Structures are given as C-alpha cells and as structure tokens.
C-alpha cells in the first residue's frame, strides 16, 4: 500500500515524497515524532490520511528511525505487568497463523494483527488481566456467547477476552471463530 500511495503522491498533493521530507525538515518538525508530522500535514497542508502516514514514515526513516520488527512490537506490548499474558497471546497467534500458508503476523504499536489477504484477527493485552482477541467477520458472525461487538479495535468487528490463565480448552474453543474469520477474509 505504501508503494501505491508514494507513487501517486505528486498527483494527489503536488509534491513528491522527497519534496515532503524536505518540507518536514524546513518546518523544523521533529521527524521522529510521526504523530506531530501527520497532524502538521493534515492541519497545515490538508494532506490525505494515507499520504500523511507515508510522508511521516519516510521523514522518520530519513532521520535514522528503523521500524521495529514484529517480535519487538510484541515484546513491547507484553513487557512489565503484561508479561504474564504473553503465553496466551503466543498461543492465539500460533492458531491463527496455522490456518494456512497465506497468513502472516505484522507488528503494530498497540496490537498484533494476523493477515491473510486482509486482516482477520488482532491480538493485544486487554483490560483486567486479559488478552483481547478481535475478529473481522464480513458475512456471518458465528454464534458464541463470548463474542461482543468490537469498539474501535484494529479492523475487528467482534472481540472476546481470554483470561491470563486460559487453558488448552479455552484456546481450542477459538478455532471455529478463527477459521470463520480466516475464510471470510480470503
């Protein structure tokens, strides 16, 4: 997606990616503060959202920032008091990735998504010592009393929360939900 956004940037904004990186520098912005760069691009220049992300990312990389890998994002999510949730997280991710050779996990600052063609599940520390598992259902929502409509979590339409002491039965009970989300995001 970033390549497509970058390729059409001049057409949409009147500037190339390199031009925008230079503009960020000239404006005296901290290129490592990507949130501030995106806000400046939106508020001052009216740059569309996807273009904001591409420009802020390029400006930060130009300043020496290196995007963390998926393991580093996961380690950050499950540090400190959340460390005890990591085994449940890892088990859910393994189940989701095991659904097919076309799956992969990616890193995000606040959650770890598993992608097929599109994101079909997202996993993160949840409230009250739980692991939040979000599912993206496009068609039929499987019947499961634990599912609730998701509220602004990744691309999830529904979610559930697993306790830190979830056992193998709890994890196996996710398989039909994961399979449904996987199939609906082909």
* pLDDT tens profile 25-78: 999 999 999 999 999 999 999 999 888 989 999 999 999 999 889 999 999 999
The answer on 87 and 137 residing in a single domain is yes
Mean pLDDT of the 162-177 span: 97
Domain range for residue 103? Answer: 70-184
The span from the CA of 103 to the CA of 99, in Å, is 7
Helix (H, G, I), strand (E, B) or coil at 101: coil
For residue 8, what pLDDT is reported?
82
CATH number of the domain encompassing residue 76:
3.90.1150
Provide the whole-model pTM.
0.76
For residue 119, what pLDDT is reported?
96
pLDDT at 176 over 90: yes
Per-chain mean pLDDT for the chain = 94
* pLDDT tens profile 119-140: 999 999 999 999 999 999 999 9
For residue 7, what pLDDT is reported?
74
Alpha helices in the chain (DSSP H): 2-7, 9-13, 17-26, 34-45, 49-62, 70-77, 86-97, 168-172, 175-184
pLDDT at 1 over 70: no
Domain count, the chain: 2
The answer on 43 and 18 residing in a single domain is yes
The answer on 32 and 77 residing in a single domain is no
For residue 50, what pLDDT is reported?
84
């Amino acid at each position: 997606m970033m390549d497509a956004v970058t390729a059409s940037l001049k057409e949409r904004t009147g500037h190339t990616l390199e031009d925008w990186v230079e503009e960020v520098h000239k404006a005296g912005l901290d290129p490592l503060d990507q949130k501030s760069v995106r806000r400046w691009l939106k508020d001052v220049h009216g740059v569309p959202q996807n273009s904001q992300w591409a420009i802020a990312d390029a400006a930060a990389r130009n300043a020496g920032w290196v995007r963390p890998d998926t393991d580093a994002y996961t380690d950050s999510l499950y540090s400190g008091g959340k460390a005890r949730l990591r085994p449940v997280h890892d088990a859910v991710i393994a189940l989701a990735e095991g659904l097919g050779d076309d799956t992969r996990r990616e890193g995000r600052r606040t959650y770890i998504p598993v992608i097929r063609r599109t994101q079909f599940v997202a996993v993160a520390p949840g409230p009250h010592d739980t692991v939040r598992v979000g599912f993206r259902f496009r068609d039929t929502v499987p019947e499961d009393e634990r599912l609730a409509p998701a509220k602004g979590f990744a691309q999830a339409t529904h979610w559930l929360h697993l306790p830190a002491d979830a056992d193998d039965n709890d994890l196996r009970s996710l398989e039909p939900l994961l399979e449904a989300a996987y199939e609906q995001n082909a």
